[in-house]
Structure 1
Amino acid sequence: MTGLLRALPVSGIRSKQPWFVMSAAKYSTHINSANPFVSHYYSFEADGHHQHPIAIPDGCVDLLFDCDQNEPIAQVCGTALQAKEIQFERGHRYFGVRFLPGYIPDFLDVSAKEIIDNQIDFLDIMPRAKPIFEQVVEQTDFAKQVAIVSQFLHAKSASRLSPLTRQLVGKICQQQGNIQIQQLERYSGYCSRTIQRQFLAETGQTPKAFCRAIRCQSAVYNINHSPQLAFSDLASELGFSDQSHFLREFKKLVSTTPLEYQHRVQHKTYLERIHCY
């Protein structure tokens, strides 16, 4: 399954949060293949000169550390279900690890449903993790933070998904979220009722909500990497009935129109702002 996930389009997408990147004073990222359930690590300093950034649906769970010297905190953040304003403290340095779409760390004492569209204090649901929390927030070097968390995760299981749900997550990602429940029935051999019940119980999301998140990420990824992209072509590729439907959905999930987003990405030289390690 690991090899399959690494080959899926969503692995290349790396579950972006573009407004975090564009509102940060500095943004760094690192892709670590040591843990098969980790999408990537990232770090940024909140600028504070911009309005609060928007979180967009990505289907992922993040472990996010606010490394403030006076009041450090770590939170488990579930995927947003639509565009959602997030408050970061100006000048604070943040470090995060984003798990692959659909995967919820098995070592967290919380249900999948509780995490989705929510932020929960990390130490409240994993009090024994205080030593790792202290190591991360006291460290100022991004690479060393990555090494600390990577070692911590090495001994942990990050998947509580059954073979059926792993299969469905993989298929949805492979199709860029453009797949119907009837197609998932034919693909898996299970009825829609079983698929809906099991997927919701294990990921905290319905298959439809997860598909929306992956389609959102696919749209954002394509716009980021294709300056001359025709939105009519993108709408068709992602399975929207028409371009107007795509425009409405994009605005609901990304908080702006595709054209406005494209202009912002180009103005901010989005890809150049991301420092990879």
Structure 2
Amino acid sequence: MNAQAGKARGVLRTKLEQGSFQHERRLPCQPLAWLVEHFWFVGWDLRGLPPQTQETLPHPNVHLVIEPPQARIYGVHSGRFTCELKEQGRTFGIKFKAGGFYPFLKTSVSTLMDTSMAVPDVFGAGSESLEAGVLAAPDVEAMIVLAERFLLDRLPPHDAMVERVSAIVARIADDRGITSVEQISEYSGLGTRALQRLFQQYVGIGPKWVINRYRLHEAIAQLQEGRAVAWAELALELGYFDQAHFIRDFRKLVGRTPAEYARVEVGHDR
């Protein structure tokens, strides 16, 4: 069995109000670890209950998503992802590492920004078998076996730049002290323009966007943990010049102000 991945980031609603909801994330086998961040599965049962909305914040990653009526490959999305869950269903996905889809696409990943494409457009004839197999699979383990076999059969030549880009993005995600592109330039040894070109080609979005999104992910995580938050201090800590700018960005991405989100989604008044 593939090991569990770490805690999910950017999930705005961590549980459904009614019904059952299953969310699993599994790490890939070692030969795929430089390309795939994790496999994920979502299943729900809302039969006899009203539909419910699930929302997640965007990440700098490409996803291959398998669900009826068609499997699709999704590039980085600039806004939050909203999905209405109803009746009963399940979805399986492959989350590629930041930069990890470039060896398959073989062209700038920025061409996938805010859009999607059919799986055969990238992986060629015969890739429809992955969709059929996953949809018929009895459980998550069987889905992962099919997905790993599919990718291993199409394993691209090793590209050291993928690991370099993935390491930079992981550093941004994990180090909340990173709030500017200049810090990443210093860390990576790349000039600002070279860094921008590298991110557009391999990640599909610029480094400033990645920094901003992960700092907002950090704000969401703090709210979900129920911490008492001083908004002005948090804004400065996350690299904003003032509280108003932070709240404006938060509301644009999440759809609510931080205080509204804490009250409605987390159940805390802050």
TM-score tier, shorter chain, comes to 0.7 to 0.9
CA drift of 1:74 comes to 0.5
Identify the residue that residue 151 of structure 2 maps to in structure 1. 153
Identify the residue that residue 208 of structure 1 maps to in structure 2. 208
Aligned partner of residue 143 in structure 2, secondary structure: helix
Identify the residue that residue 127 of structure 2 maps to in structure 1. 129
Structure 1 contact 123–129 (Cα < 8 Å) conserved: yes
TM-score by length of 1: 0.75
Distance change >3 Å, CA 105–CA 137, structure 1 → 2: farther
CA drift of 1:245 comes to 2.0
Structure 2 contact 10–58 (Cα < 8 Å) conserved: no
Larger deviation, residues 42-51 vs 254-263: 42-51
Identify the residue that residue 42 of structure 1 maps to in structure 2. 41
The answer on 1:93 being equivalent to 2:90 is yes
Structure 2 contact 44–85 (Cα < 8 Å) conserved: no
Identify the residue that residue 60 of structure 1 maps to in structure 2. 61
Aligned counterpart for 2:117 among listed residues 117, 120, 125: 120
Structure with greater contact order relative to length (CA < 8 Å, sep ≥ 6)? 1
Distance of 1:90 and 1:109 partners within structure 2: 39
Identity of aligned residues (%): 22
The answer on 1:16 being equivalent to 2:10 is yes
In the alignment of these two chains, the number of paired residues is 252
Give the residue type in structure 2 aligned to 1:27.
Q
Distance of 1:157 and 1:219 partners within structure 2: 37
Distance change >3 Å, CA 79–CA 216, structure 1 → 2: farther
Distance of 1:159 and 1:254 partners within structure 2: 37
Structure 1, unmatched stretches of 5+, are 1-10, 268-277
Identify the residue that residue 4 of structure 1 maps to in structure 2. none
CA drift of 1:227 comes to 0.9
Distance of 2:235 and 2:132 partners within structure 1: 46
Aligned partner of residue 127 in structure 2, secondary structure: helix
Identify the residue that residue 221 of structure 1 maps to in structure 2. 221
Aligned partner of residue 22 in structure 2, secondary structure: strand
Structure 2, unmatched stretches of 5+, are none
State the Cα deviation string for residues 38-96 of structure 1 (Å, max 9, x = none).
Answer: 23412233859346544522112211111x4xxx3111112221235456675442222
Higher helix share: 1
Distance change >3 Å, CA 219–CA 125, structure 1 → 2: same
Identify the residue that residue 27 of structure 2 maps to in structure 1. 32
The CA RMSD measured in Å over matched residues stands at 3.2
Identify the residue that residue 189 of structure 1 maps to in structure 2. 189
Distance of 2:91 and 2:205 partners within structure 1: 27
TM-score by length of 2: 0.77
